[in-house]
Amino acid sequence: MTGPVVPLWRQLQAAAAVLAAVRRGESATAAIAAVAGELRPGAQALVFQALRNLGRADALRKHLARRAPPPDADALLCCALALCWNEDHAPYDAFTLVDQAVEAAKRQSTTRSQANFINACLRRFLREREALVAATDTDPVALWNHPRWWIDRLRKEQPQHWQAILRANNSQAPMTLRVNARKSAVAPVLASLHAINMEAVAVGEHGLVLARPRPVQDIPGFSEGLLSVQDAAAQLAAPLLLQGLPVPAGRRLRILDACAAPGGKTAHLLELADADVTALDVDAVRCERIVQTLERLGLQARVLAADAGQPAAWWDGQLFDAILLDAPCTASGIVRRHPDVRWLRRETDIGQLAATQARLLAALWPLLAPGGRLLYCTCSVFRAEGEAQAQTFVAHNKDAVLRPAPGHLLPQSGAKGNAVPDNLQGDHDGFYYALLDKQ
């Protein structure tokens, strides 16, 4: 039995509210969570598409009206422009979107006085669409739907691939699953999914990509801990850290997963190795997510709410055989999944986060036993958070040896073409991996 049909104007109101929150510097994830349950799925789909086209929408609005209307009205107007500017990818007929956007304006106190203005702008856009789109094609921010500093930085750091990266960023991310190696393997899980007409393909050693995203409760085996949601690039972490790592005689491996929430990599480590794992996160609420993740999968770790950069507050003095540091970063590699990130970040954030990453590396390296291994990773495409960070660390720590590792994995939608040569085949986020051995 299906629920009542939610009018499009209500979904547009909710989507515009999320967009307005992002413009105030709030996370879209938190803003979407505050949307009423019956509106949330539709509003999220609309605002994600709007965020992926916000550069174009802002440029069009400036052509239609040099002075921006009040924030709520501007969010609604730009949301409508972002959704209807490209007829080939519009979720609804353009005239329907315009009609419902005006209805949304009329039915909300903060936008009611601007309803006629919104109507005039959108009707003019429909009349002059071709000329207005052509006029904004000269604006890189409109063309690529990323801040100008982001485009410029990628062009400098990735002169051969910056366009492919930006195209991938504007695509929808797939739903990628990780098979729990303690319970099954990719081939039998694929066979069981195909038996119920759920299309999927294998990716990497433990992953599979669904042809169409599904609610996790609809995926057979998820609630029983057979599967987890994890991007293919993130699935490389646990195997990279564990492959060839010697097991100490007479005891289990001691592994630290620093900055571990929500627990996907912690769980993968435990699925692949019999080890004593300590999982840290500075946020106690996010630590609860680690616990929940492990409980669903039937796994156990020592979960601590603590700052990894201050070991004196939590470390028991016993050296670790391996450390996974998935450091805080700009999240510039996962904008397919979080399209608000590009509009929330500032270029100055890169230097500030790089300083945090360096502080964490310096604090954790003494906790690693000689002969041990540290895997440094970020979900970033910027070199200051990846290659430059690793090279600087090795230059200042003579007992650190940089081993072969993937380095910068650039975001791509391989199944859709425009593949970046140094990536895995398939569809995955942007990531950086550096593997450091301690002499």
C-alpha pair distances (Å), 144 with each of 16, 141, 201: 21, 5, 30
Three-state DSSP state, 111: coil
- Catalytic (active site) residue 121: no
What span, in angstroms and rounded, lies between the C-alpha atoms of 433 and 386? Answer: 7
CB distance 311 to 281 below 8 Å: no
End-to-end Cα spacing for the chain: 63
| Annotated active-site residue in 78, 84, 121, 379 | 379
What span, in angstroms and rounded, lies between the C-alpha atoms of 60 and 37? Answer: 32
- Enzyme catalytic residues: 379
